[in-house]
Amino acid sequence: AQRVTQPEKLLSVFKGAPVELKCNYSYSGSPELFWYVQYSRQRLQLLLRHISRESIKGFTADLNKGETSFHLKKPFAQEEDSAMYYCALRGGADGLTFGKGTHLIIQP
Amino acid sequence: DAMVIQNPRYQVTQFGKPVTLSCSQTLNHNVMYWYQQKSSQAPKLLFHYYDKDFNNEADTPDNFQSRRPNTSFCFLDIRSPGLGDAAMYLCATSSGGADKKLFFGSGTQLSVL
């Protein structure tokens, strides 16, 4: 069975401080990992995926197979980063398995 | 320029009264998904269509059904809603190819009275 764990329900940091949203997964095969974001009153949308090795809006995430983690990081938080962040895993099937999400609040 | 459209945004139904939620897409994507998201929980995949092939998740209750009459539309039917079915229902699409990116609708918030 595949599982995604986001241990923090809520994370509050000050503007300009570093951000790290934790994500751990459980999957026996080779997974694809994603981060989705939902800003206030907007739909859920893809932020980034591990296969692209990209940086989106200053966020990066590295897949660590040894630790089965895919933590989302940003060196300097901005107020517009406040949102709900979901880590997701795609195993063999087409659908994604989501974590419960972390509500990120950036304080001015 | 919404690409995945869900109507209505809010739906209220009565206990046991059948309800249908709708989703349409302008992306011409092969795959359409229905997710259920209860408060403070992860979105949970109910089922998906790959073209006309229906794929039900093992733990999706029989109370939930789906129809996809054509590429653009997909419906979620709840035959006898219970209080526990109150949730946000999210529709999503993907091309089904190597790009696994999902495009989500705004969701329909279902209340059961």
Pairwise CB contact (< 8 Å): A43 & B31:
no
User: What Rg, from alpha-carbon coordinates, does chain A have?
Assistant: 13
B85 three-class SS = helix
Q: What number of other Cβ atoms are within 10 A of residue B85's Cβ?
A: 20
pLDDT band (50, 70, 90) for residue B58: confident
Tokens of A30: 């080779």
Q: What is the pLDDT of residues B31-53, one digit of tens each?
A: 999 999 998 889 999 999 999 99
Q: What number of other Cβ atoms are within 10 A of residue A85's Cβ?
A: 23
Q: What is the pLDDT of residues A48-90, one digit of tens each?
A: 998 887 888 999 998 999 999 999 999 999 999 999 999 999 8
User: Which residues from chain B sit within 8 angstroms of residue A96, using beta carbons?
Assistant: 45, 100, 102
- CA-to-CA distance for A64 and B20, rounded, in angstroms? 42
User: Which residues from chain A sit within 8 angstroms of residue B44, using beta carbons?
Assistant: 98
Instruction: Kindly identify which residue of chain A lies nearest to residue B33, measuring between CA atoms.
Output: A95
Pairwise CB contact (< 8 Å): B45 & A97:
yes
CA distance B81 to chain A (A): 24
Between strands B108-112 and B10-13, the pairing is: parallel
